[in-house]
Structure 1
Amino acid sequence: MRQRRLKAPASFPVAYYHCLSRVVDRQFVFGELEREQFLKYLGEHESFCGVRVLTYCILSNHFHLLLEVPAKPTTPRTAEELLAKLEALSSTAPSAATARQRIAMFRQANDAAGEREFIDRLCATMWDVSGFMQRLKQRFTQWFNRHKGRKGTMWEERFKSVLVEGAGETLATMAAYIDLNPVRAGIANDPKEYRWCGYGAAAAGDRRARTGLRVIIAGGEQVAEDKLSIPDALAKYRVWLFGQGEEREGFTETGQPLRHGFKRNEVLAVAAAKGQLALEDYLRLKVRYFSDGAVLGTRAFVNEVFAALRERFSPQRPEGARPMTGLKNPLFTLRELRARVFG
């Protein structure tokens, strides 16, 4: 039986999620045109749903997003606010014109309750990680199927999500893990060279990407966003990305291949010997905690989420936090991974 998605408790004013979704059969469908179109829809639905994309990485058969999702406001959207949001979308069902006609009909019939129900139904995907991902993936699938003359789903399964602590280094850790994907995959020597990730877009001057990285660094330093300039934030984020120096593709002077990270058996050997890895080295690995861990943060943060959602876990479990395997000064996760931590 499929488990309900773990989301932030209602008491959280804002939540952060790492979301990952793969193409069915791991097909390589994201070329340049597809990535451009995906980014277009990403921006549109980010605005419509009231979320913020802090960073991202679009690869040939999957994508990563780091999202900031505010709690749903207590004051519901007005009809005018909803219509303005619909008009900003390139295509939607219903269209802004159709929604405007429906609202006019409710008002002509003096049916305030019907109008409110209609508006609330269209707003149901706002301020919600599942609603945002559903809209984004459906819209891209519609475009892709029409463009390729195909039918059916293009996604392997429901997306994965990890609830990430927003304060301290956890958010920056997850962001770096996402932006280092092209380096780990060997398709870029430096993430600034990869235009389909948040850091690459920010380095090229994209305003939204730069703002997202400023949020990440401000959260790490626990300062207000407006107290941190964007150039300073980008510089600090780059230092964070390359804490252990840049790894490059190619060969040494003696002809030995350079590696993008540790081999899986080397990492497992270190963990088995109870050795510890520096955080910077951890980020160069494909670590399942970052996609399968459910919640990621300090012990206090993970246990706060665990306590708020206590009914979802066994009464025999004394606390939620589990340390990440093999990491010096560990982060904690809510889901304990018993196999294939790396790779």
Structure 2
Amino acid sequence: MIHNRIKEKCADQAVYYLVTNRIAGGRMLFKDREKYKLKELLFAGRAKLSYEVIDYVFMGNHFHLFIKIPPMSHMDDVELLARYRLYKNNDEVNFINSKQKDDFKEKIHDISFVIGNFEQRFVQWFNRVHNSWGRLFGQRFDSEMVEVSHQSDSLLRVMAYISLNPVRAGIVTDPKDFFFCGYADRLAGGGVGNCDNDFFDLFCRNIVAVGIKDKQKHFREVFRAYMLGLRRYKNADSKTVREYLRTESNLSAEALQWDDLFIHKCRFFTKCLVIGSEAFVREKLAKFSDKMKWKRIHKPYTEDDWNDIYSLKPRRRGNPAG
């Protein structure tokens, strides 16, 4: 079913999205070969379009991506032309005029174009390799705008939701052992994690770090502690978490209980429009309500034990607010 999508033009600030799509009919068509290709295309696309991969997981019949769209103001004309030539596969092509340049710049910062390009390239490859034709995905991808700030645990919660997919599916007992996910990629020094030093500044305050590598290491330890179910600690910079990391972060995979799997499985993530603090959700609600022309009432929604994380999802008229 066609659904509304909330997205920003990200002129002067980065915007983050959780993206999900599934194979039509739930068929388990993503084998290792397909997952390798998905990963290849996802990271190769960064050279042509403007996005960064914060996290990802490729399962047998669906994928989740956590994507950062950088501010358009951070891209100068030299970089823009280089991306345009890669996109056109022509080292000599130039923009015809300023309008074409501006249109291309806006397009490569648009989450719809970024994911549409990624999916189209994969479907073309899949159909060619498998001698098939037609649609592969059941519908348009879902996307949720995610707040990334010190005011909300949304970043950590969304990353945990993504990383724990193969654990929930019973494939591994620890996400570090699943090759086709961002968590294992991070630990192996792969293509994700470039923003982890920025996330350290948001979520690991009062933890001493020297240099970017140290920041990345500490953020990953805090994130692992978060996945281990430390829901009772509202902030990742608490002394309790620091003490935990110092004394218990070497637990074996067999000892991990992942006691928050049920909460992470909630459709709270993939069937809403915005994820963040109540203030963030209300801001987007006020900004986009008229444009979306909703027939149902939309209000910030949350559940118990969500550390004050809210979503924006449809509410039927007459129902009490979440």
Query: Alpha carbons of 1:147 and 1:119: their partners in 2 closer, same or farther (altered >3 Å)?
Result: farther
Native 8 Å contact 1:248 1:260 kept in 2: no
Partners of 2:300 and 2:58 lie apart in 1 by 30
3-state SS in 1 of match to 2:20:
strand
Amino acid corresponding to residue 35 of structure 1 in structure 2: K
d(CA) in 1 for partners of 2:179 and 2:5?
31
Residue of structure 1 equivalent to 2:215: 229
Distance 1:25 1:8 in 2: 31
Aligned to 1:287: 266
Aligned with residue 211 of structure 1, among 183, 194, 204: 194
Which residue is 2:310 aligned to?
Answer: 332
> What's the C-alpha RMSD, in Å, of the aligned pairs?
3.4
Task: Say whether 1:307 aligns with 2:301.
Answer: no
> Quick one: which of 83, 86, 89 aligns to 1:85?
83
Letter in 2 for 1:210: G
1:116 is matched with which residue?
98
**Mapped pair 1:54 → 2:54:** yes
- Shift in Å at residue 221 of structure 1? 3.8
CA distance, structure 2, for counterparts of residue 237 and residue 291 of structure 1: 21
Cα distance per residue 1:183-230 (max 9 Å; x no partner): 011111100000111001112221x32324444444334799949522
Q: Name which of 132, 138, 157 aligns with 2:114.
A: 132
Q: Is the 8 A contact 1:186 1:260 kept in 2?
A: no
CA pair 15-82 structure 1, distance change in 2 beyond 3 A? closer
- CA apart distance, 1:116: 3.4
Structure number with larger C-alpha Rg: 1
Cα 1:151–1:120, aligned 2, differ >3 Å: closer, same or farther?
farther
Amino acid at match of 2:23: V
How far apart are residue 122 of structure 1 and its match? 4.2
Gaps of 5+ in 1: 107-113, 250-257, 262-279, 339-343
- With over 3 angstroms needed to count, the CA separation of the structure-2 counterparts of 1:13 and 1:212, relative to structure 1, is closer
Partner residue, 1:182: 166
CA contact (8 A) 1:297 1:331 kept: yes
The reply on whether 1:172 has 2:156 as its aligned counterpart is: yes
Q: Residues 297 and 241 from structure 1, CA distance in 2 versus in 1: closer, same or farther, beyond 3 angstroms?
A: same
Report the counterpart of residue 95 of structure 1 in structure 2: 89
Residue correspondences, number: 290
TM-score (norm 1): 0.73
User: Whole-Å Cα distance in 2 between the matches of residues 12 and 283 of structure 1?
Assistant: 34
* Percent of matched pairs sharing the same residue: 27
Q: Is residue 213–residue 237 contact of structure 1 (8 Å, CA) maintained in 2?
A: no
For residue 132 of structure 2, what is the aligned residue in structure 1?
Answer: 150
Local SS of the residue matching 2:224: helix
